[in-house]
Structure 1
Amino acid sequence: MPRQPLALAPFRGLRYTALDVGKILDSPEHDFARLLAPPYDIPGPEEARALLRSDPHNATHITRPYQLNITMPGDRPGTPARSVYESAAAHLRAWIGDGVLALDPDPALYVYEQVTAAGTRQRGVIGALELPSASTSGPVRPHEEVGRAPVLDRVRLMARTHANLEPIFLLYPGADGATTRITEAAEERGRLLVDTRTADGTRHRLWSLTDPSIHAQIASDLARRSALIADGHHRYAAYQRMHEHSDEPGWSHGLAYLVDSDAHPPTLGAIHRVVPGLTTREAAEAVRSVARVERVPGGSLADAEMALWKAEHPALLLAGPEGDHHLVHDVDQARLAEAAATHSEAYRELPTAALHHVLLPLWNRSDRDVRMVHDEAAEAVEVARREGGTAVIVPPLRVEQVYAVAERGDLTPRKSTSFGPKPRTGLVMRVLP
């Protein structure tokens, strides 16, 4: 099967007019960053509600439609209720009609830079990713399993809004190629559109590259490369579904943010689990038959996390809201190999593999029964307290582990990785004609 080149096409970006640099400089008292949002699947319910309250035009209103009101301002009494996806589309159309959002005049590739409060700098290029046809192999490799329901959710949102509202996040080894050299020189080669800072202290800058000769250089450089999905597996699967089942030519592409991992090595955080209705003591006792379980003395979550980091992988931490912490390691390899027989050895070395194939079945749970909490172990413990359950603290994977699984054509269990910094939603969107 022939291989399709990695290609990012220029497009006319849909952007918040309030984020334009000139308007920010003219109105320094306004915090326009409040219009932006994390990727749709990151905020928990409370944070999502706070984002919705922060501004009537915050991007969450269109990316998290299940949080939306099902009526629009101005609806007459008796107006039939909209579906949540139709409501998102109505918001999008209204914002465009009111001039809150506007299309850029010329097709562009966009250079996007994030500099976190800790000083981490990441810069890459945003474009319309060409999707593979049924007769070609694609240049983009997933590394994580997806769930049918989240993919269907994104498909329905894209179909109703006729848009890609936020980019997927891709990594590739750029080796100082032309794309990297061009993005690193965006100050000289592009036009600065956005320069703002979000509440977490991260500075976000966006440039447009409209010169066709620059587009040609990037196309030539990327054609021979491949990319790994860092974030956005469900959206990429939704892109593919739209491409396969729609006759509209616009769905042959999907919005993507491509970062050279050689120039900007990503951070890799953990995604913890919360098992509702299962006490830490019950969870630990059930696991003793298949692994070593050691109670961590002292009751400090910080001490327990330190024990987890020092343990040999795969290892996990069962953390209770009352300081009842248990380290789980040396999972029965024969049992794991049998349960994950169709997977590679690299896969079976992942802590999430032991959790998915051995521990959850012992607790009579599936991965669909648990809550996901990104990065913060203390937040996972707090969720466990509220839900009368156990937090399973998962150590972050190493980047080389992810590449090793993907190179073998394997997929990690769902929600095994949290690459960062993640692109902020709302800086640039793509709408189909």
Structure 2
Amino acid sequence: MASVRPFQALRFDPAAAGPLETLVAPPYDVISSAQRDELQASSPHNITHLTLPDSADGAARTLADWRQRGVLVRDERPAAYVIEQDFVGPDGIARTRTGLAASLEVEPYEAGTILPHERTHRGPKEDRLRLLREVHTQLEPIFCLYHGPPPLDRPDRPPDLEIEGTRVWRVEDDGAVSDGFADRELLIADGHHRYETALAFHEEMGTPESGRTLAVLVSSRDDGLAIFPTHRVFERAPEAAGSLPVDVVSSHDDAHEALASLADLDYERPAAIRYAADKAELLVGPPGELDVQLVDRLGHDGISYTPRAEEATASVDRGEADVAFLIRALRIEDVFAVARRGEVMPQKSTYFYPKLTSGLLLHPV
């Protein structure tokens, strides 16, 4: 179903660009203005000079200059890339997530091959499309999930790139990548705006090259794959809280006890913990919803999000928030099920961690 294949990547040459740790960055949409300034000051070749430029045409000039001077060099032959990321999650557990970077053919969602699970907004897509029109290069990957084993194993040799817990192996294969994804559907875990921008770009250009994008694909079986919850913190208690269709099944003086009780529940009914200054209540809603859908009934006024329950409860304890709603992490099968029905999740439903590193691989289109 999905068309995935090796590609000729653009990569930094440290001999001309400088140390790799000064060149990479987080994805553009999680970088603050202050972080952007700091990253761009760390090196004249930091990837944010392309992903967060002063202007789109300026990024195109920068990219052309880097390629002309050998700062970025294109691989002579197509390859796929095995990527490992070591990380410690918000739950304090150390993991290693393994994915495969390759070229993905973009298809409309209606084809049923690429499945979204989040709603996008026009502004970010327009910004990214202006940039893509100028640079003709996919500067950052999207993050996709699939069911089944990976088509390539990690090579038994030192990595070709290594930076801050991320290791990359270049692999030239004999069709294993294309064959391995031929009958698979892909779920976009992160990068919906980038994917839809790639679709819009291909509609404009209509070339074989414009119909590809850069993707990192991770098996749902991967031991390091984890979805973390996004707890809701309200500066003021939402008016809809009183009409939330829930049963209070237990009350606790301690949030840790309430979280333990929440973890013991099955997923047949949605559940959440309502944490206020005086107590923690375990709430259970009617069947047919997920935890995030239940708490989304509360609206979004004065809301903030955190994957760490202790941060959510601390905001209430300090008097910075009236109430926090703590939820369970979604299961991978829940996200696939919603996407297959053609539905989308509420805002901030999933938190895939860590984010992919930008600047390791670029995909000319």
TM-score > 0.5 by shorter chain: yes
Higher percent of residues as helix: 1
RMSD: 3.7
- The C-alpha deviation readout for 1:198-221, integer Å capped at 9, x for no partner, is 1xxx2x2222223xxx24232223
Q: Partner of 2:50 in structure 1?
A: 62
TM-score normalised by L of structure 1: 0.69
What is the identity percentage for the equivalent residue pairs of Structure 1 and Structure 2? 32
Contact 1:114-1:122 within 8 A present in 2 as well: yes
**Are 2:219 and 1:260 aligned?**
yes
Q: Partner of 1:8 in structure 2?
A: 4
Alignment partners' CA distance in 2, 1:13 and 1:425: 13
Match of residue 13, structure 2, among 17, 21, 26: 17
Contact 1:19-1:32 within 8 A present in 2 as well: no
List runs of 5+ in structure 2 lacking aligned partners.
none
- The C-alpha deviation readout for 1:350-377, integer Å capped at 9, x for no partner, is 1221233x211xxxx46xx75444x234
Q: Partner of 1:74 in structure 2?
A: none
How far 1:255 moved relative to its partner?
0.7
- Counterpart of 1:262 in structure 2: which amino acid? R
User: Residues 140 and 31 of structure 1: is their aligned pair in 2 closer, same or farther, counting only changes over 3 Å?
Assistant: same
Q: Partner of 1:246 in structure 2?
A: 205
How far 1:389 moved relative to its partner?
7.2
User: Residues 386 and 253 of structure 1: is their aligned pair in 2 closer, same or farther, counting only changes over 3 Å?
Assistant: farther
User: Residues 223 and 376 of structure 1: is their aligned pair in 2 closer, same or farther, counting only changes over 3 Å?
Assistant: same
How far 1:185 moved relative to its partner?
4.5
Contact 1:13-1:104 within 8 A present in 2 as well: yes
- Counterpart of 2:339 in structure 1: which amino acid? A
Contact 2:5-2:177 within 8 A present in 1 as well: no
Contact 1:274-1:390 within 8 A present in 2 as well: yes
How far 1:122 moved relative to its partner?
2.6
User: Residues 185 and 297 of structure 1: is their aligned pair in 2 closer, same or farther, counting only changes over 3 Å?
Assistant: closer
Q: Partner of 1:330 in structure 2?
A: 284
How far 1:306 moved relative to its partner?
4.6
TM-score normalised by L of structure 2: 0.80
- Counterpart of 2:229 in structure 1: which amino acid? A
Match of residue 376, structure 1, among 292, 305, 308: 308
User: Residues 137 and 287 of structure 1: is their aligned pair in 2 closer, same or farther, counting only changes over 3 Å?
Assistant: same
Q: Partner of 1:425 in structure 2?
A: 358
How far 1:166 moved relative to its partner?
1.2
Contact 1:267-1:421 within 8 A present in 2 as well: no
Q: Partner of 2:95 in structure 1?
A: 120
Contact 2:160-2:169 within 8 A present in 1 as well: yes
Match of residue 353, structure 1, among 293, 296, 300: 293
Match of residue 401, structure 1, among 334, 345, 358: 334
Q: Partner of 1:195 in structure 2?
A: 162
Alignment partners' CA distance in 2, 1:389 and 1:44: 27
User: Residues 104 and 248 of structure 1: is their aligned pair in 2 closer, same or farther, counting only changes over 3 Å?
Assistant: same
User: Residues 329 and 14 of structure 1: is their aligned pair in 2 closer, same or farther, counting only changes over 3 Å?
Assistant: same
Partner SS, residue 359 of structure 1: coil
Alignment partners' CA distance in 1, 2:273 and 2:40: 34
User: Residues 37 and 216 of structure 1: is their aligned pair in 2 closer, same or farther, counting only changes over 3 Å?
Assistant: same
Match of residue 78, structure 2, among 92, 100, 107: 107
Match of residue 230, structure 1, among 148, 170, 189: 189
- Counterpart of 2:196 in structure 1: which amino acid? A
Alignment partners' CA distance in 2, 1:89 and 1:318: 50
Q: Partner of 1:205 in structure 2?
A: 167
Superposed counterparts of 1:28-427, under 5 Å: 32-43=20-31, 50-63=38-51, 65=52, 70=54, 83=55, 85-116=56-87, 119-132=94-107, 137-175=111-149, 180=151, 183-187=152-156, 192-196=159-163, 198=164, 202=165, 204-210=166-172, 214-264=173-223, 266-275=225-234, 278-279=235-236, 282-283=237-238, 286-290=240-244, 291=246, 297=253, 305-306=259-260, 308-309=262-263, 314-317=270-273, 326-327=280-281, 329-331=283-285, 333=286, 348-356=288-296, 358-360=297-299, 365=300, 370-373=303-306, 375-379=307-311, 392-427=325-360
- Counterpart of 2:161 in structure 1: which amino acid? V
- The C-alpha deviation readout for 1:88-111, integer Å capped at 9, x for no partner, is 444434443443322222222222
Contact 1:109-1:215 within 8 A present in 2 as well: no
- Counterpart of 1:194 in structure 2: which amino acid? L
Partner SS, residue 424 of structure 1: coil
Contact 1:108-1:208 within 8 A present in 2 as well: yes
